[in-house]
Structure 1
């Protein structure tokens, strides 16, 4: 869903060859300019490398950097040396703040065993996220044939990554110390993303630059319940581009609390005491334009019964909210009270299988 710009305030001149602004909750497009054109994306690539490192396991894991891991590293570097003992967290901060190509190569080989195998992982994850016009070759974003993405795909990646609280915390960090080397030395990584200090609500995510790609920037900002993602590729004036995009997004979108009316106020509890408890819908916060709140529709997914025990606050069902037949948000339906249960052994296996099959269908 792309919104007409002519109905709203002038967004100004965007210098980027390719750009997009989306509302994260629904991923609907607020502004786009050649957003599906395949282009190099420089070090914004490290968003993918970092999220794969995070998903590979505990960031407190230690590793020893080898010559193989540093072979062929070019461009920006945090200064890792063979023999340094670092943590995966050091690599993540080294990539996201200092944009270290050495950190990216080390992470790739540590996770996958080789740069080639890691590129396969990157492309598999891209397919899972829905990045249909993206192909990764390098973990750092250094220029390579067939290494490309689009502004739209990078917005998908940013949304996926920022949903991970560990990644989001790293991306929002302005300065981070690491200690390594022999003798041990403490080095401070500073985040290259100046929006973190100059734009209210900015929370990340990554800068990038090569001669071929030009200035690339993926950024995220939130204000008053509205979450926006902006991407620019080959943008001579990227900082101002993003400020203009965010200013526009926050001027036209406002957070609205929506709470659908449930068709029933209670639900039966099998094997519980009491055997019927009250339920309530939790509110959803949706970023909407003026006049859209009245157009919201909903689908309610609620089983006919649930098995005890049930605790107050347990999720019983779900409400999906739609705008013009597009899913833009959801909220849980929860139990408003407890219901103590009979011993699990008294429930037949068949009963439980039927119940969970029904719940899966509803969910």
Structure 2
């Protein structure tokens, strides 16, 4: 633990500089209790994997934030910029290639937070671990200290913690309690994360699953001190609206595809084939779905079966939802001198 992490404001785990913890334990501290110091310890540890072991605390945290921003963009967030790993307000000065400096704030939107939650519970390769942590009601752990030197026998069980035989449980114990009361308020409540800052007020991001329907929601500025329970009422309203008004539908459409011209080919055109798949999506009566073919003007021989010739784009309410490849259905050879000789031979000698 660095002095920088230990100096984070409340709410905090209460760590001291020099202490050692398991990453797994700090994830529970972060997700169940929103501990600011735990968030920074995690960010420093992961950030140094990319920034280098010599990076100081703030450099490592900024590197971690850069990775957070890259991931947010990858999953479709368009209005999110992370600076801090714990959600505390911050401003970062950025200078462009022309020497112009702009001030960027740590910021996001309800839509992007709901998108992040959706990724966490449906698409992330770590979704089961995420659900395990965020659904745990109580969790206890300790810090760790070095065990006996290698020339002396290590205490029995020192390696059972996952820290290796060089470490053993220390003398400081910690307990965490899950503050997501909504887990017990509605059938199908899957996960969630509470939050609060003086500017953002009480916030909540959650997910609910009933049958084939999974919803993610985000509530920002949902009351200030004195109205802490408003978010539970609003969360229920949003989930009930979703359950009553949205149905799962497969929006995949079979298209009549044209043949695409082939230049310098043994055939003038090539038939096309669209990828057959399912595109399940929760839709309400007002949602509009349309498709658009985006094809190359032509393909240059030789053409191989399966070669990408374009895309079938799916739009939901005029926003791009998915793109499926359109491919050449068969091979088309190239019109070469040898090919011409072979054809002439067939005409005159067969």
Does the Cα contact within 8 Å between 1:257 and 1:285 map onto a contact in 2?
yes
Which structure 2 segments of 5+ residues have no match?
A: 49-55, 93-103, 146-167, 332-350
Decide whether aligned partners of structure 1 residues 142 and 331 sit closer, same or farther in structure 2, where only a CA change above 3 A counts: closer
Aligned residue for 2:283? 288
Aligned residue for 2:61? 118
Decide whether aligned partners of structure 1 residues 148 and 229 sit closer, same or farther in structure 2, where only a CA change above 3 A counts: farther
The CA distance in 2 between the partners of 1:161 and 1:249, in whole Å, is 16
TM-score by length of 1: 0.55
Does the Cα contact within 8 Å between 1:286 and 1:329 map onto a contact in 2?
no
Aligned residue for 2:216? 228
- 2:85 equivalent to 1:139: yes
The CA distance in 2 between the partners of 1:243 and 1:282, in whole Å, is 34
Does the Cα contact within 8 Å between 1:96 and 1:171 map onto a contact in 2?
no
Does the Cα contact within 8 Å between 1:296 and 1:323 map onto a contact in 2?
yes
**Which of 85, 92, 101 is residue 20 of structure 2 equivalent to?**
85
Which structure 1 segments of 5+ residues have no match?
A: 1-65, 341-363
RMSD: 4.7
The CA distance in 2 between the partners of 1:328 and 1:199, in whole Å, is 33
The CA distance in 2 between the partners of 1:93 and 1:144, in whole Å, is 24
Aligned residue for 2:78? 130
TM-score by length of 2: 0.57
Does the Cα contact within 8 Å between 1:171 and 1:206 map onto a contact in 2?
no
- 2:248 equivalent to 1:255: yes
Higher-RCO chain (CA-CA 8 Å, sequence separation at least 6) = 1
Aligned residue pairs, count: 265
Aligned residue for 2:156? none
- 2:144 equivalent to 1:181: yes
Does the Cα contact within 8 Å between 1:217 and 1:238 map onto a contact in 2?
yes
The CA distance in 2 between the partners of 1:71 and 1:84, in whole Å, is 10
The CA distance in 1 between the partners of 2:8 and 2:286, in whole Å, is 53
Decide whether aligned partners of structure 1 residues 198 and 163 sit closer, same or farther in structure 2, where only a CA change above 3 A counts: same
Cα distance, 1:265 vs structure 2: 10
Aligned residue for 1:159? 115
Aligned residue for 1:205? 192
Does the Cα contact within 8 Å between 1:315 and 1:334 map onto a contact in 2?
yes
The CA distance in 1 between the partners of 2:63 and 2:219, in whole Å, is 24
The CA distance in 1 between the partners of 2:275 and 2:62, in whole Å, is 46
